[in-house]
Amino acid sequence: MSTIAKKPGQLLWFALLSLCLIAAAGAAGYSFMVGHEQAFNVNRGVPWGILIATYVFLAISCSGLCLISSLGHVFGFHEFTLISKRAILLAILCLMGAFGAIGLDLEHPFNMIYTLLSPNFSSGIWWMGTIYGIYLGILVVEFYALMTDNHKLSIVTGSLGFLFAIAAPSVLGSVFGLTLARPFWHGSFMPVYIIITALVSGTALIIMVMYFHHFVRNLEMDKQDRRLIRLLGRILALMIFVLIFSVFWNVIVGLYGKQPGHYEPVMALISGKLSLNFWMGEIIIGLVVPLLLLMRHDRTPFSTMMASLLALIGMFFMRYDMTIAGQLYPLRLQEYGLEDGLFSYSPSLSEVLIVIGCLAFSAFAYTLAEKLLKLDTDREQHS
């Protein structure tokens, strides 16, 4: 297979992603030259911005992809073996993009090495970084096993990957959930919520990959392909349905009793600074419209793909709102000069460009891998 895109559309795609990567590299270089306090809009009140939200989005998408993939070569549902290679490859690239986002959020990225060499076992952030680092290694070995048709190794690494796909987002959720000073995050809800959204993101991503794999190559989906994409659509619909109830009860709990630190962020979501993100991005684009598309009896692979795309957009809004809303309420009541008594945050151009670059990296690397590697099963080699 040629490694160079020959179709104008493919050339345009590579050119667009390359421009995104160049812009992100420029923004990252600028942030290191002038300092994060000048390049980024994070501040003393809101120290975690859109880069942390992007890290969470990509990291949990990785876990969701791994969970879906494990249904094939771990649990024996043979329909899912068609997507195992692509799901694990995309999981690896999403996790690498996530590491890029959190690394560039740090003013001194090499401090991550120091953190690993001087562990703090009581720190949720240390456990998160360590587990995701091990997880990346497992995924690489699992992908090697799948590419070399090493069935025994793929089962072992797939089983380990499944366990880490549960553990990693749980620990990530605990970083938020164990933060006593942030009532909006604190509690047992956050780790479970993160796993649910991981399944939504992972399922939506693999549906899109499967659809565009056929679309770009002008391949017609056979019965097996259509059956799988319909099954994935049902899984996505179920996860969105569960997520709707989770969001509903999270809002109700925040409103009930008006607990300081929980009530204010919820109000910021439903009628305040983040209300447009919440109602348009999360609820309408991310949950309601995708569910309506997936509930149609006459849905096509295209409508399933569109539902997946909208769900992914909604998941990014969820990660952003979750990250920012929890920091809006000041830790000290004596903070002055705050609008409505809350901090505010909007990402800078440098932050936005870096986010686009992290997403573009995963997309660029995956597209290149599609051209370099044999990711199809023998059944699909008629292409």
Domain enclosing residue 256, as ranges: 20-374
Rounded Cα distance between 298 and 69, Å, is 26
**pLDDT exceeds cutoff 60 at 3:** no
Measured distance CA(26)–CA(320) in Å, rounded: 23
Which of the listed ranges 100-104, 152-156, 311-315 does the model predict with the highest average pLDDT?
311-315
Q: What is the pLDDT of residues 26-85, one digit of tens each?
A: 999 999 999 888 999 998 889 999 999 999 999 999 999 999 999 988 888 888 988 999
Burial classification of residue 130, based on how many CB atoms lie within 10 Å of its CB (0-12 exposed, 13-18 middle, 19 or more buried): middle
Domain presence at residue 3? no
Q: Is the pLDDT of residue 344 over 50?
A: yes
pLDDT in tens, 132-145: 999 999 999 999 99
**With bands split at pLDDT 50, 70 and 90, how would you rate the model's confidence at 170?**
very high
Average pLDDT, the chain: 90
Residue 326: its pLDDT value, please?
A: 93
What integer is the mean pLDDT of 114-133? 84
pTM: 0.93
Per the structure, how many domains does the chain have? 1
**Domain membership flag for residue 9:** no
Query: What is the model's pLDDT at position 107?
Result: 73
Neighbours of 249 (CB within 10 A): 11
pLDDT above 90: residue 223: no
CATH number at residue 136: 1.20.1630.10
Query: Is residue 8 in some structural domain?
Result: no
Looking at the domain assignment, is residue 84 inside a domain? yes
- Confidence class for position 378, pLDDT limits 50, 70, 90: low
The answer to whether residue 169 is domain-embedded is yes
Q: Answer whether residue 7 is part of any domain.
A: no
Asked whether 95 and 56 are in contact (CB, 8 A), the reply is no
DSSP 3-state percent helix, strand, coil across the chain (nearest 5): 75, 0, 25
Cα separations in angstroms, 383 against 130, 213, 218, 262, 362: 41, 11, 9, 54, 24
Which own/partner contact pairs does 211-219 have at CB distance under 8 Å and 24+ positions apart? 211/301, 211/302, 211/304, 211/305, 211/308, 212/305, 213/86, 213/370, 214/301, 216/9, 216/10, 217/383, 219/383
10 falls within a domain = no
In a domain, 181, yes or no: yes
